[in-house]
């Protein structure tokens, strides 16, 4: 069974009225002769040379499924978000390209539509599994069995024991949220590691500015143990004066010698911040705990948390180094 939706499900009614499923990327033109996945991806790249690699791969893969993988006799499902219902049908025709169709309906297959299922009748895991943003994907086996049970009348609604009903939804939603947050954090870390050292330095300064400090970045060369100075006045004359060292080295921990070297040039009223994307050794953490001035060690995970916490207050210069999109989640 295949999930097919165009523009987030906005064409579900047209699918049912016209007896088909369809997707966009009209400019690619007809995909004849059951082309390979690689051939379709290359065609997408040729049609839109400005596409980033992953966007071309995702777009081409979905076109390939429509043209070469889906078959007559396969089940198909499409979601109508305005009515909160899933339309269920069966593919009855081969792939076709309609040059006269609008953009989102060009690549198509004939479908005989039958039943529909209200979203509220599905279990939380199945709702989640049908919530992919992809235009075309294969429905997971468990979800397909659940839909089949509902269609056959073996169950009227997927139920769980009353004492577990709320917990199932809460636990599954909580797990999905935690998984999404964890993945998002890893993606952000990937983007940070793509920055060079100078960009990383500017990003750290941008977070400090978002927290209300004014910053001065040391010029390249011998910086006497400081990359950034943050203070209320921007001159380092008013307290607190935070002296920042930035080490941007993948998989290279900072040890106690680096911490001692950083501390050696500090004044008694300074506050220290040491950012190392490669992390810190146990000896480095011990050295920081016994430092004569307040010193915070911040690894990549701590830094990402700080970025997320202060991102909305970051200026355009800092955001340009690490563009992020805010996603809202039901509380």
Distance CA 36, CA 97 (A): 17
- Antiparallel, parallel or unpaired: β 2-4 and 75-80: parallel
Residue 276 host element (H or E) = strand 270-276
Inside any domain, residue 81: yes
87 and 32 belong to one structural domain: yes
Q: Could you tell me the CATH number of the domain that includes residue 134? A: 3.10.590
| pLDDT for residue 272 | 92
Q: What are the tokens at 40?
A: 């379709």
Exposure pattern of 4-38 as b/e (b: 16+ CB <10 Å)? bbbeebebbeebbebebbbbbbbebeebeeebebe
| pLDDT for residue 163 | 41
Domain hosting residue 312, numbered range: 197-321
| pLDDT for residue 165 | 42
Closest listed residue to residue 21, CA positions, set 111, 136, 112, 150: 111
List of the chain residues with pLDDT < 70: 132-133, 155-175, 220-226, 234-237
Inside any domain, residue 184: no
| pLDDT for residue 164 | 37
The answer to whether the peptide bond before residue 240 is cis (omega within 30 degrees of 0) is yes
| pLDDT for residue 187 | 87
Q: What are the tokens at 59?
A: 């777009």
Inside any domain, residue 46: yes
Phi, psi of 66 (to 5 degrees): -65, -40
Query: Of 126, 157, 188, which closes a domain?
Result: 157
| pTM for this entry | 0.56
Distance CA 228, CA 262 (A): 13
**Looking at the DSSP assignment, which residues form a beta bridge with residue 98?**
none
Inside any domain, residue 187: no
261 and 133 belong to one structural domain: no
Inside any domain, residue 185: no
Our count of domains for the chain comes to 2
135 and 45 belong to one structural domain: yes
Inside any domain, residue 163: no
| pLDDT for residue 327 | 87
225 close to 254: Cβ distance less than 8 angstroms: no
Residue reference for tokens 């994907």: 137
| pLDDT for residue 199 | 94
| pLDDT for residue 76 | 96
User: For 49, which DSSP code?
Assistant: T
Inside any domain, residue 94: yes
DSSP reduced 3-state for 214: strand
Taking only the tens place, the pLDDT of each residue in 61-94 is: 999 999 999 999 999 999 888 788 899 999 999 9
């Amino acid at each position: 069974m295949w999930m097919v939706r165009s523009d987030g499900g906005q064409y579900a009614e047209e699918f049912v009225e016209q007896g088909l499923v369809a997707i966009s990327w009209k400019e690619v033109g007809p995909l004849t002769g059951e082309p390979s996945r690689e051939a379709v991806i290359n065609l997408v790249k040729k049609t839109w040379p400005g596409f980033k690699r992953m966007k071309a791969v995702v777009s081409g893969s979905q076109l390939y499924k429509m043209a070469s993988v889906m078959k007559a006799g396969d089940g198909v499902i499409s979601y109508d978000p305005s009515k909160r219902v899933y339309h269920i049908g069966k593919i009855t025709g081969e792939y076709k390209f309609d040059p006269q169709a609008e953009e989102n309906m060009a690549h198509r297959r004939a479908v005989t539509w039958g039943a529909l299922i209200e979203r509220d009748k599905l279990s939380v895991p199945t709702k989640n599994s049908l919530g992919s943003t992809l235009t075309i994907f294969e429905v997971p086996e468990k979800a397909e069995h659940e839909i089949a049970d509902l269609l056959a009348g073996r169950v009227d609604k997927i139920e769980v024991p009353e004492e577990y009903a709320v917990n199932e939804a809460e636990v599954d939603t909580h797990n999905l949220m935690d998984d999404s947050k964890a993945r998002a954090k890893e993606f952000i870390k990937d983007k940070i590691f793509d920055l060079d050292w100078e960009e990383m330095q500017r990003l750290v300064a941008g977070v400090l500015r978002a927290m209300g400090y004014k910053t001065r970045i040391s010029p390249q060369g011998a910086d006497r143990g400081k990359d950034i100075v943050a203070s209320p006045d921007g001159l380092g004359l008013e307290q607190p004066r935070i002296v920042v060292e930035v080490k941007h080295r993948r998989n290279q921990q900072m040890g106690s010698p680096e911490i001692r070297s950083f501390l050696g040039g500090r004044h008694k009223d300074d506050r220290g911040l040491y950012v190392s994307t490669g992390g810190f050794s146990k000896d480095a953490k011990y050295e920081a705990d016994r430092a004569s001035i307040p010193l915070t060690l911040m690894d990549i995970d701590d830094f990402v948390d700080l970025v997320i916490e202060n991102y909305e207050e970051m200026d355009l210069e800092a955001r340009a180094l690490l563009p992020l999109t805010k996603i809202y989640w039901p509380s």
